[in-house]
Amino acid sequence: MTKIAAIQMVSGPDLATNLARARHWMNEAAAQGASLVALPEYFCLMGHGDEAKLQFAEAPGQGPIQAAMQAAARELGLWIIAGTQPMRCADPARVRNSCQVYAPDGRIAGRYDKLHLFRYDNGREHYDEGRVLEAGDAPVRLAVAPGGQTLQLGLSVCYDLRFPELYRQMSFTPGLAPLDLISVPAAFTHTTGQAHWELLLRARAVENQAYVIAAAQGGRHENGRRTWGHSLVVDPWGEVLACLPEGEGLALAELDLQRLAQVRRQLPALEHRRF
């Protein structure tokens, strides 16, 4: 079995502080035996306005955020799903919301740019990511090997969770095995998280017969936002193995490939798919 950890944060506008808190919890996860950790969406920055993302955006392979993740991966021997960070794109008025995966040797093993951009307005709360974000181009899955066990990992971010076709496309990539683990770093609002977060995560786990690791922002932020938290690890039967409701900390659980095989053998729904 492989121990995995979803790190929950309550990030603020100071980059150095956020990176230090992320490293603190990665150290703690490694000390507790985790070989793969996941950070939340915008672990590095929850600024006072979306324009802050432009200020702190990095070029691929350059900058203090990526350097900090590479150092942590090497020094702690971890696979790191590094939540998201703002990444420069061709449009100087926008950035990509990018999730990079780091291998234990510090190399960048993969990158996914958030495809679905969140917009919400209930008359009291309103938010539109499209003002400063440029959508990604394609789904991304890759092989990782925490604890020496090779896993097929599917990457997604926050609002992507509401689009099951993204996960089905990744799970049924021609010539590749179904996903074993789905990652969903997020900063769900308190309102939408309370209504739908756990429901959607468990649904994605059950319908894809895969583990889900969902590292979240969880609390009241300096910029006035309140995020839902409830970082989870869910097994392929939909059972919640670990949950941290609010505040900083870890949701730790064991990923068991025998359990994964058992679920798929007893209920071979992936083989029964018609479309």
Instruction: Select which of 44, 58, 114, 248 is catalytic.
Output: 114
Mean pLDDT of the chain: 96
Tokens of 239: 């059972």
* Cα distances (angstroms) measured from residue 65 to each of 19, 71, 215: 7, 10, 18
* Cα distances (angstroms) measured from residue 125 to each of 12, 111, 130, 268: 20, 31, 16, 42
- Positive or negative, the CA dihedral 172, 241, 111, 257 is negative
Say whether 41 is catalytic: yes
Whether 26 has a pLDDT exceeding 90, the answer reads: yes
Whether 121 has a pLDDT exceeding 80, the answer reads: no
Instruction: Select which of 3, 158, 246, 248 is catalytic.
Output: 158
pLDDT of residue 123: 75
pLDDT of residue 128: 83
According to CATH, the topology of domain 2-272 is: Nitrilase/N-carbamoyl-D-aminoacid amidohydrolase (3.60.110)
For the chain, which residues make up each domain, given as ranges?
A: 2-272
Task: Specify whether the CB–CB gap between 212 and 181 falls below 8 A.
Answer: yes
Instruction: Select which of 41, 58, 129, 134 is catalytic.
Output: 41
Distance separating the N- and C-terminal Cα atoms of the chain? 33
Give the pairing type, strands 95-102 and 85-88: antiparallel
List, in sequence order, the alpha helices (H) in the chain.
15-31, 52-56, 64-76, 164-171, 190-208, 257-266
Interval 145-169: pLDDT, tens: 999 999 999 999 999 999 999 999 9
Q: What does the alpha-carbon distance between residue 68 and residue 78 come to, in Å, rounded to a whole number?
A: 13
Percentages helix, strand, coil for the chain, rounded to the nearest 5? 30, 30, 40
Q: Using alpha carbons only, what angle is made at residue 241 by residues 26 and 30, rounded to the nearest 5 degrees?
A: 20
Say whether 243 is catalytic: no
Q: What does the alpha-carbon distance between residue 177 and residue 143 come to, in Å, rounded to a whole number?
A: 10
Determine how many CB atoms are found less than 10 A away from the CB of residue 119: 12
Say whether 114 is catalytic: yes
Collapsing DSSP states into helix, strand and coil, what is residue 4?
strand
The pLDDT-based confidence of 118 (bands split at 50, 70, 90) is confident
Name the pTM for this structure: 0.96
